[in-house]
A and B are shown apart, each in its own frame.
Chain A
Amino acid sequence: MLNIQSVLDVLQGPQTLIHSFQLDPALAVTRIVLIVVGLTLMYLGRRGVLEAVIMVPLGLGMATVNAAIMFFDPLNLHQGLGTLFVESQAGVRGDSVQQAADIMTVLQIDWLQPIYTFTFSNGLIACLVFMGIGSLLDIGFILQRPYTSMILALFAELGTFITLPVAMAFGFDGNEAASIAIIGGADGPMVLFASLNLAKNLFVPITVVAYIYLGLCYGGYPYLIKYLVPKNLRAIPMQPPKDHHQYTPFEKMVVATILCVLLSFLLPVAAPLFFSLFFGIVIRESGIKGFQELLSNTVLYASTMFLGLMLGVLCDANTILDPQVLPLLLLGCFALLFAGIGGLIGGYVLWYFSGGKINPVVGIAGVSCVPTTAKVAQKVVYADNPHAVIMPAALGASICGVITSAIITGVYITLFGKPPV
């Protein structure tokens, strides 16, 4: 006989919400809040306030996964509640046979589990994103100003450096603190890679927090620049360097190849990231158009889309209610704030030593997050002086930011962890 209970039995989303309100009201409220947050992120991404390529899939994933909770928990990890999307904690048990069985079970049940297990949780997706980014990068911007770009990138690592002791003061151990500090490098793939190597237990929350904040850089950094750099300095136009040389694709390819081998030699733990980035750059300069189009379109967009989607579905109420997430939210914000401040300090230092020829805003691009911060820098400068072009210098600093982030990731992994066996 049809009654309210039988209808609720079929409509498990509302029923699990009622169930959560009765047993764990915080979980129920968090579900509702996350649905609203997901829809808001989508809206802000669509409006261009935040990075659309991450926020649209992330927001939809976050809203949907928190709506689609049902009475289903095959691994008994979440008090009988779960989804058919992904199980990030599959394989957390000590028993290796049970671990393997758990992973096989969820691979057969959760529709996004193959993407998570075979591309996300092993860092492959980070390397694919890097290949795609590399195929869009013109290394010529660094060749024009190698020292300027690298110095700006080093200043912009301020957040990565000072977050480490602060995170340790919050009670995280060295491995965890180093993974959290890498958020200051503002490179999503690097955060993913570092947390996988150093703190697998915090891998999901760190990655989610990092990517959400990276999206917020797009909206937040313009305010930081306007607050810290006066209008007359923001409007300084930048001239090309005196010994400007137009490098040919072959010359760029030779430099990228040597740099890849050198950095991989110095820091083998970060070699997959170096290789992926420089492979993309080499393909771009090699003239093999088919490969370049494949990397810059299909690989980059497909991996970014699945990355955003995966991050969204990992934002379920259980993950967000983890008591470790609140300090992560604070530390992530702290790291990126000081990364931006450090970058602008670097900009001021170079502005001073160049006799006012370098626009200090270019420093924010050293925070990496290619090419977002370079776009932000140019956008802010353009608003004050439509004739000022700082994009080439900003892109040089931004690309060097990737290199310095990879160097620090390699150093942290060497100091605090072990390379994956």
Chain B
Amino acid sequence: MSVLFDAAYAGLNAIFVTVPITVVVAMVSAAMIHAVAKAVVALGLGKVDAEPASGPVLVDDETAIAVAVAVAKRYHDTH
């Protein structure tokens, strides 16, 4: 019986370590989420979605075909 109590006591000791670490990490995460959310709004990062993308982007099939046809035509015209 005392072996079982010793084991349970060891488990309780582990909880006294686990609970504070978990609470601290979770609340730090919540604070980070809150701070980053405020920061992205303050920095106006939401506007990125409204602006046309620069640099390489994924395009749909129709655009890709149109670009390929235009490039081929230009190559044909210049050679």
Contacts and interface: CB of A to CB of B under 8 A. Distances in A.
* Interface size class of chain B, counting residues whose CB lies under 8 Å from the partner chain: 35 or more
Given A254-B45, A267-B25, A412 B10 contact: no
A147 B26 contact: no
B19 A255 contact: no
A258 B36 contact: yes
Contact of B37 (A146, A166, A171): A146
A153 B26 CA distance: 9
B64 interface: no
B68 interface: no
Contact of A407 (B7, B26, B34, B46): B26
Interface stretch (A31-39, A78-86, A241-249, A347-355): A241-249
A169 B8 contact: yes
Nearest to B11: A165
B49 A248 contact: yes
Contacts of A267: 25
Contacts of A248: 45-46, 48-49
Interface residues of A, number: 47
A137 B29 CA distance: 17
Given A169-B4, A177-B11, A415-B17, A146 B34 contact: yes
Contacts of B34: 146-147
Interface in B33-68: 33-34, 36-37, 40-41, 45-46, 48-49, 58
B27 A259 contact: no
A150 B11 contact: no
Contacts of B10: 165, 168, 174
A250 B26 contact: no
A165 B12 CA distance: 5
Contact of A154 (B9, B22, B32, B40): B22
B70 interface: no
A360 to B, nearest CB: 20
Contacts of A266: 25, 28
A356 B3 CA distance: 46
B66 to A, nearest CB: 19
Given A164-B18, A166-B8, A150 B26 contact: yes
Contacts of B58: 288, 290
B33 A142 contact: yes
B29 A154 contact: no
Given A169-B8, A262-B29, 12 more contacts: A161-B18, A165-B10, A168-B11, A169-B4, A174-B14, A247-B37, A248-B48, A251-B45, A255-B36, A266-B25, A288-B58, A407-B26
25 contacts: A143-B37, A146-B30, A146-B33, A161-B15, A161-B19, A164-B14, A165-B9, A165-B12, A166-B8, A171-B7, A174-B11, A250-B45, A250-B48, A251-B40, A254-B36, A254-B40, A255-B37, A255-B40, A258-B32, A267-B25, A290-B58, A400-B26, A404-B22, A407-B22, A415-B14
Interface of A: 142-143, 146-147, 149-151, 153-154, 157, 161-162, 164-169, 171, 174, 177-178, 245, 247-251, 254-255, 258-259, 262-263, 266-267, 288, 290, 400, 403-404, 407-408, 411-412, 415-416
